[in-house]
Chain A
Amino acid sequence: MGQTGEVTTTDGPRELTVGMGAGGLATADMVLNIGPQHPATHGVLRLRIVVDGERIITAEPVVGYMHRGAEKLFEVRDYRQIIVLANRHDWLSAFANELGVVLGVEQMLGLEVPERAVWARTLLAELNRVLNHLMFLGSYPLELGAITPIFYAFREREELQAVMEEASGGRMHYMFNRVGGLKEDLPAGWLDRVTHAVRAVRGRLPDLEALISGNEILEARTRGIGLLSPEAVAAYGVSGPIARASGVDMDLRRDAPYLAYPELFAPGGPGRVVTRTAGDCLARLEVLLEQVHVSLDLADACVERMRSLPQGPVNVRLPKVLKVPEGDLYTATENPLGFNGYYLVSRGEKTPWRLKLRSASFNNIGVLRELLPGALISDMVAILGSTFFVVGDIDK
């Protein structure tokens, strides 16, 4: 709203002719501006849509309101400082964002990361995934008019944030990854508290699920709405839960494993890739719900494994001035919202020459152009919410 919406009084053609009913009345399409500040765009996405009554004829996402120039700033930060900015583009998956940077730098340096750190990273990444999904499981019903689920979701988020904070010191931006490992070892007794928190969250999750997946109205609003075909997924480079809800069975944790995922996603392991074939809003929501369960299982498995690991270092000593050898490398990780890639080009300096960011949400909202035409304005809210985007991840 705000920026938008008003029928204005300036000169120029007034193309808005409103007519009720069909037949003799001349009608015209109305251009409606959604955003950049609108409750449904959670953040500052802007959509320019043309509507006939309430039916959308064309839709165009207008991005860039949140562009903070992170990629350019990467070039004047050294490899330790980059992490600060890297974890902020998708503010719901800060830990996963950090990972991509450090994994790439470590690979270019040829560093061997201690096993303890690998498992701890995996654990924290999965907890981060749960945090991210819980946010959307709360905010999506909110956009459809159900105000209560978000309160349930945040109760679980606070539970998990408490353990994340105990380890890293941050509630959202953890800054816990370092090139070569983690900032410091995990606190004593922390693993027990993780187990406890995971158990508590898993125990209360049915409350949230009953409000979401057990609700007829929510189902009526989402089933068959916003159908996304596997072809469109491929054409637009959609990834993550949205792609998997359209039956595209693709998950980097299994397909191009990093961290401890080869073991977790091995046959018989707790990891599995959640897919649906319907491709509608409901399927996307269901994928998210089930992924929470999978991630909680993975977290449990990581905790178990970490208990059996011997004490030892969680990072490696680095030189004071960290220079990455000349070369380039693309590192992709499975962020909660989809593929998150960093293309790092180094010229042997202490700062990258270029660090290109491939973020999941940017591609995911591109497909809105395909999804929105033909839908109603109410459906637009349902579709927009179900593309699970973070505006910072779109605009970088």
Chain B
Amino acid sequence: MATVDLPLPRLGVGAETAPRPIKVVLNWGRRYSLWVFNFGLACCAIEFIAASMARHDFIRLGVIPFAPGPRQADLMVVSGTVTDKMAPAVRRLYDQMPEPKYVISFGACSNSGGPYWDSYCVTKGVDTVVPVDVYVPGCPPRPEALLQGIIKLQEKIASESLSSKGMRAKYGGHRAATAAEVTRPLVAPPTREVVGG
């Protein structure tokens, strides 16, 4: 399939022009404002929801679960089995998230395929599709495990030094995607005859 060049990522104006001491503040901002986009695929999604509820409550940590779409999200949590049919969608949504972005792989299935390791249709780990920052093991992991994973990610963010240059280096100076991942023709209407209406 033909590939399409995407523009290389550029940080927002704030991060680009800031002097070094300000970077600490910037990192602090990213650390405590992680709008999370839940890629809820399977069993683990329920434990993800449990982690956002009153008992475990990751909103305390500044993980805000009110981002329904990828455009507003900073963190994607892939919770559940990624199948080969779903993998392109995962990649596509990852590409739609604005930089800087982070990914937590939540659960055995998205880490490695888990109990479906020998299935013919399960992707053996979401890290074959998108880069992963933190892996949370378990089948499904307990909500506490997700909290720990979030804290690990926050520590990572706090010690980060972010620049457009570094970010572009991550893409190897070339961000490309298959044409189907960024755009695709209009969906044909169902062929079945009109019912009701």
A residues contacting B by CB (< 8 A) are 1-4, 6-16, 29, 31, 33, 36-37, 39, 42-44, 48, 50, 55, 57-60, 64-70, 72-73, 76, 84-85, 88, 91-92, 135, 150-151, 154-155, 157-158, 171-173, 369-370, 373-374, 391-392
Given A29-B189, A31-B188, A37-B89, A68 contacting B122 (CB threshold 8 A): yes
Q: Are B92 and A3 in contact (CB under 8 A)?
A: yes
Contact between A50 and B190, CB atoms less than 8 A apart: yes
Q: Is the CB of B53 within 8 A of A154?
A: yes
Q: Contact: A65 with B85, CB < 8 Å?
A: yes
| B41 close to A157 (CB less than 8 A) | no
Given contacts A16-B186, A31-B187, A69-B116, contact A151 B53 (CB under 8 A): yes
Choose one: A8, A37, A150; the contact of B93 (CB below 8 Å): A37
Q: Report A217 CB to chain B, min CB distance, Å.
A: 20
With known contacts A3-B92, A8-B183, A68–B39 Cβ distance under 8 A: no
Further pairs besides A11-B185, A50-B189: 5, Cβ < 8 Å: A13-B186, A43-B42, A48-B187, A68-B121, A72-B119
> Which residues of B are found within 8 Å of A151, using beta-carbon distances?
53-54
Known: A68-B122, A69-B116, A373-B195. A14 touches B186 (CB 8 A): yes
Distance of A9 Cα from B122 Cα, bound (Å): 31
Shortest distance between the CB of B159 and any CB in chain A (Å): 31
For A33, what are the chain B residues with a Cβ–Cβ distance below 8 Å? 187
B164 interfacial contact with A, CB 8 Å:
no
B69 on the A face (CB < 8 A): yes
Contact A374 B196 (CB under 8 A): yes
Contact B86 A66, beta carbon cutoff 8 Å:
yes
| A68→B84 CA distance, assembly (Å) | 9
- Say yes or no: is B30 at the interface (Cβ < 8 Å to chain A): no
Total A-B Cβ pairs within 8 A: 153
Contact of A2 among B96, B142, B185 (CB under 8 A): B96
* Contact across chains for B120 and A72 when beta carbons are under 8 A apart: yes
Contacts of B119 in A (CB 8 A): 68-70, 72-73
Give bound CA distance, A19 to B194, whole Å.
22
Give the shortest distance, in Å, between B67 (CB) and chain A (any CB): 10
Q: How many residues does chain B have at the interface if contact means C-beta atoms less than 8 Å apart?
A: 49
Across-interface contacts of B89 in A (CB, < 8 A): 2-3, 36-37, 44, 65
Knowing A44-B86, A69-B120, A158-B55 are in contact, say whether A58-B43 is a contact too (CB < 8 A).
Answer: no
> CA separation between A65 and B88, bound complex, in Å?
11
Chain B positions within 8 Å of A, measured between CB atoms, are 39-43, 45-47, 49-50, 53-55, 68-70, 81, 83, 85-86, 88-89, 92-93, 96, 115-116, 118-122, 139-140, 142, 179, 183-190, 192, 194-197
Partner of B46, one of A59, A64, A91: A91
Asked if B69 contacts A173 (CB within 8 A), the reply is no
Given contacts A65-B85, A173-B140, A369-B195, contact A73 B116 (CB under 8 A): yes
Question: Can you list 7 A-B contacts (CB < 8 A)?
Answer: A2-B93, A8-B184, A48-B189, A57-B194, A171-B140, A173-B139, A369-B192
Q: Contact between A373 and B196 (Cβ–Cβ < 8 Å)? A: yes
CB-nearest residue of chain B to A369: B195
**Which of B45, B55, B118 has most chain A Cβ within 10 Å?**
B55
A73 to B116, CA, bound (A): 8
Chain A interface mostly helix, strand, loop or mixed?
A: loop
Contact A2 B69, CB 8 Å, known A57-B197, A73-B116: yes
List chain B residues, Cβ under 8 A from A135: 46
Let me know if A48 and B190 touch, CB within 8 A: yes
Residue of A nearest to B117 (CB): A73
Question: Which of A16, A67, A68 has its CB near the most chain B CB atoms (within 10 A)?
Answer: A68
Q: Which residues of A contact B122 (CB under 8 A)?
A: 68-69
A42 CA / B190 CA spacing, docked (Å)? 23
List the B side residues contacting A64 at CB < 8 Å.
85
What is the distance, in angstroms, from A314's C-beta to the closest C-beta of chain B?
25
**Once the chains bind, are B83 and A67 in contact (CB under 8 Å)?**
yes
Are A42 and B40 in contact, CB atoms less than 8 angstroms apart? yes
Q: Let me know if A8 and B186 touch, CB within 8 A.
A: yes
Q: What residues of chain A lie closer than 8 Å to B69, measured between beta carbons?
A: 1-2
Question: Which of B39, B69, B187 is packed against the most chain A CB atoms within 10 Å?
Answer: B187
> B185 is contacted by which of A8, A91, A374 (Cβ under 8 Å)?
A8
The smallest beta-carbon distance between A19 and chain B, in angstroms, is 17
Minimum CB–CB distance from A13 to chain B (whole Å) comes to 8
Closest to B138 in A: A171
A173, B197: Cα distance in complex, Å: 43
User: Closest approach, in angstroms, between the C-beta of B114 and any C-beta of chain A?
Assistant: 9
Instruction: Look across to chain B and name the residue whose beta carbon is closest to the beta carbon of A13.
Output: B186
Q: Cβ of A69 and Cβ of B121 under 8 Å apart?
A: yes
Q: How close is A80's CB to chain B, nearest CB, in angstroms?
A: 14
Q: Which residues of A contact B188 (CB under 8 A)?
A: 31
A158: B residues at CB distance < 8 A = 50, 53, 55
User: Is B86 touching A65 in the complex (CB atoms < 8 A)?
Assistant: yes
Given contacts A12-B185, A15-B186, A69-B120, contact A43 B40 (CB under 8 A): yes
Write the nearest CB–CB distance from B119 to chain A, whole angstroms.
4
**Known A3-B92, A37-B89: A68·B49 in contact at CB below 8 Å:** no
